[in-house]
Structure 1
Amino acid sequence: MDTQVGTGQATGDNGDAAGMAAAREALNGIEADSPDFCQVFCSPVYDYDAVLWGIRSVVGSDTEVIGCSSSGEFTEAGSKAETVTVGIVASDSMEFFTTLSTGLGADHKRCLFEAVHDLPEPDAPQIDQYPHRAVINLHDGIVSIGDEITKLTEQYLDDDQIPIVGGSAGDDLRLEETHVFCNGQVESDAVALALLASEDPFAVTVNHGHEPISEPMAVTRAEGSTVYELDGRPAFEAWRDAIQTDARESYGIDVDDLDAGSEEFLMLLGRYELGIESEPDADAQSIASRIRDFVASAFISTEGYNIRWPGRTANTDGSLGFTVDIAEGTELRVTHSSKPDQVSAVETAASNAADELGGNAVAGGFVYDCACRAMILGDDFDDAVDAISRSIDAPFAGFETYGEVCSADEDYTGYHNTSAVVFLFPE
């Protein structure tokens, strides 16, 4: 059998029926009667407990299950609204272990520590014969600390050779409450982890499709996820001036006339996001918080840009609001991405992932794709799904996240916005 992947997507009048239908469709794609692993992406229109009951009634109680609420779901067959989407894996060359920990917002360090240490140790007897490992991290998308969650997962695993993939749970862009699942458990304010141990290597890639259009600007005043000043200027003003010419030429929009909350306002926040060129290290962050100075020697340069979406910006003067904390001293560039850029980005990510398998056939995989990319692509989102299919020619399931986790690319830090993460299994 080696490794087989099946996917399913369903809607229904209730959660248990939708869960059962999605799981049955996924099982049709594999030869095994009971899969080893199942990942669930679920619209908040359903009762999550009912969905999990329906899925587990089909896949069986021995299948390890994790998942989360989402802001859009898709498989290789395309995307649909308000679905239950399931990806299952059956393998005689892999082992799967899952865990869930709560209280993420109140004490994220304890929460991540407990979650990671509930997984088998690297030299545990049940996995020591498997040389390749990966961890899926799904976490509450409202707590706005996805970057810290990713860093702590890496730290507590204490093995920088283990790639971490996954994403921040969504809720159809309501930004009210998100949930993660583990076997029969459903929790908000929590993290769910899955450890995958394999005889063969996985493939993990990330790409975003944004290009810088401004000079670097330093964050000179910030608090949490709100940036008040860039280079000593009001942050929104600095962003507006940076995009003014491009927005007029590309979209015919005069940014001086933007109304907060308008369709054009929200569209531009998604097209012109901020790319992190460099971040202060831990000591520099402490200094920056005290003296609010830009210290060039404190920065760690990277070749790639981690994208940050200013989607919580509420007005057209003053601050920029993000979905993740931005430290004072961070160096940012304004970036831009079009629909063709976004399709090309995910096609490149998928193609690179297939190439990473070194000629081995692709059994299938999972894709963690940002809700911001879906907003940019709009009705053309299926063009991106088709691009993935062309590149890997295998089943995959994915969801639209509030932030993406991928620690496997040395050009980036481990947490992303408006990016696509592709995670593949060899046959």
Structure 2
Amino acid sequence: MTASLKHNGLLTAASNHPKPDQAARELAQALCHEQLGFVLFFCSAEYPLGALADALGEAFGNVPMSGCTTAGEITPQGYDRGSIVAIGFDRRVFAVETALIDDLEHFDLPRAQPLVDALLERCRQQALAPINEHSFALTLLDGLSSREEQVLATLDAALGRIPSFGGSAGDDNHLTHTHVYADGRFHTRAAVVVMLNTRLPFEVFSSHHLVPLAHKLVVTNADREQRRVLELNGLPAAEVYAALVGCRVDALTPHIFAQHPLAVHLGGQHYIRSIQRVNDDSSLSFYCAVENGIVLTAMRPAPLLEDLNAMLLGVRKRLGDNATIIGCDCFLRRMALESLQQIDPASALLRQARVVGFNTYGEQHHGMHVNQTFTGVAFGAFPTSGG
């Protein structure tokens, strides 16, 4: 099945056909037109990625494309799995330039600054809108690389006032291999930077449904490189966390982690540090950076569906009822909705708000790597003078 919607110089489409060539043809049929300048896509990791890359290249020809694998897709119809969702950008409304970072280990400011400057200059040459006020960056990273914090902080320094957001690629919750797509093929241990300049009004945003509690946990022994906490408050980390949430260590599951997250408090904001798994040595592995001495605050979830509705209503209030959203939604939020049997009403809200995107292994907002958020960009009404 393919669904599409033309709005604000954007076309959105999705295919759940299991064969890569047929899925790519369905997307191309829905998205291709004379003014198509760029395609962004998010796909299930269940597809044979080599065959999918070939099929997309054949279906879209020379149209530039970027994307990544997911832990679930958000299509024009709402939440889905085993599918591909794609967004086509009209070159009359969007100038889009991309770059691949294929060496995350050594990505530093001397590499980042010329990369960002080149992207901005190529957008500037298309003369759509003033660069500083009308541009933003989208970042897609290998979600199992453990390099998000370093790469994002470096990019943020290079971007200056240019806002940014993005998501870490997933692999349908297998936690084995995640991929980003650039230059006609899928890559691991890599990142894609997509610079967009547009005449549309837009807003980069991030939202979560979690409320702080009084409980504090100090990381007293951590392996920063592996994002692993061995001790909290001087005791085995898993034992302390299990006591906090009121269950046995052997009963800790991703659903428990989703319902009882931890956060760091920085600059008046709480940034979620979600737990990935319990290890055999009673340590805890996290999706975000952890280090000795940080204080983790216990958080509790507010009603997720109500929070999602309020966030989407806020976007529509600020940008108009016809706003379109590209969203990076943490897979732990989706897991929580599934456990509450609220996927269908959540999909209805996303569909009504014209949201497309994917479920991530981590979200990115203004140089920060966070978890359990809904982060994205919303586009307002199409100017009457264009398109």
Could you say which residue in structure 1 is the equivalent of 2:298? 334
Change (3 A) 1:191 1:46: same
Provide the C-alpha distance between the structure 2 equivalents of 1:385 and 1:147, rounded to a whole number of angstroms: 31
Change (3 A) 1:388 1:188: same
Would you say how many aligned residue pairs link Structure 1 and Structure 2?
Answer: 369
* Aligned residue identity for 2:15: A
Q: Which is worse superposed, 81-90 or 119-128? A: 119-128
Change (3 A) 1:102 1:118: farther
Provide the C-alpha distance between the structure 2 equivalents of 1:347 and 1:183, rounded to a whole number of angstroms: 37
**Contact 1:52/1:183, CA 8 A, preserved across alignment:** no
**Contact 1:74/1:399, CA 8 A, preserved across alignment:** yes
Change (3 A) 1:101 1:384: same
SS of residue in 2 equivalent to 1:119: helix
* Aligned residue identity for 1:195: M
| Aligned-pair Cα RMSD in Å | 2.6
SS of residue in 2 equivalent to 1:213: strand
Could you say which residue in structure 2 is the equivalent of 1:193? 193
- Superposition deviation, residue 122 in structure 1: 9.0
Provide the C-alpha distance between the structure 2 equivalents of 1:333 and 1:118, rounded to a whole number of angstroms: 41
Could you say which residue in structure 2 is the equivalent of 1:281? none
**Contact 2:13/2:76, CA 8 A, preserved across alignment:** no
Residues 189-235 of structure 1: CA deviation (Å, up to 9, x unaligned): 11111100122331122112112234233222211111122333332
The 5-angstrom pairing of residues 8-407 of structure 1 reads 8-27=13-32, 32-61=33-62, 63-104=63-104, 106-109=105-108, 112=112, 115-121=115-121, 124-126=124-126, 129-130=130-131, 131-157=133-159, 159-160=160-161, 162-224=162-224, 225-244=227-246, 255-256=247-248, 258-259=249-250, 265-278=253-266, 301-302=267-268, 304-315=269-280, 318-337=282-301, 341-357=303-319, 359=320, 361-362=322-323, 364-378=324-338, 379-390=341-352, 392=353, 394=354, 396-407=355-366
- Superposition deviation, residue 94 in structure 1: 2.4
Unaligned runs of 5+ in 2: 1-5, 383-387
**Contact 2:97/2:123, CA 8 A, preserved across alignment:** no
Unaligned runs of 5+ in 1: 245-254, 279-300, 408-412
**Contact 1:66/1:193, CA 8 A, preserved across alignment:** no
**Contact 1:170/1:178, CA 8 A, preserved across alignment:** yes
Provide the C-alpha distance between the structure 1 equivalents of 2:361 and 2:37, rounded to a whole number of angstroms: 27
**Contact 1:403/1:417, CA 8 A, preserved across alignment:** yes
Provide the C-alpha distance between the structure 1 equivalents of 2:253 and 2:188, rounded to a whole number of angstroms: 30
Provide the C-alpha distance between the structure 2 equivalents of 1:383 and 1:310, rounded to a whole number of angstroms: 27
Change (3 A) 1:227 1:355: same
SS of residue in 1 equivalent to 2:30: helix
Q: Which is worse superposed, 69-78 or 348-357? A: 348-357
Among residues 363, 368, 383, which one is paired with 1:414 in the alignment?
368
Change (3 A) 1:348 1:330: farther
Change (3 A) 1:335 1:320: same
**Contact 1:214/1:242, CA 8 A, preserved across alignment:** no
Identity of aligned residues (%): 24
Change (3 A) 1:78 1:48: same
Q: Which is worse superposed, 5-14 or 131-140? A: 5-14
Change (3 A) 1:64 1:202: farther
TM-score of the two chains, using structure 2 as the length reference:
0.86
TM-score of the two chains, using structure 1 as the length reference:
0.78
SS of residue in 2 equivalent to 1:312: strand
Change (3 A) 1:2 1:81: closer
Provide the C-alpha distance between the structure 1 equivalents of 2:56 and 2:35, rounded to a whole number of angstroms: 12
**Contact 1:3/1:91, CA 8 A, preserved across alignment:** no
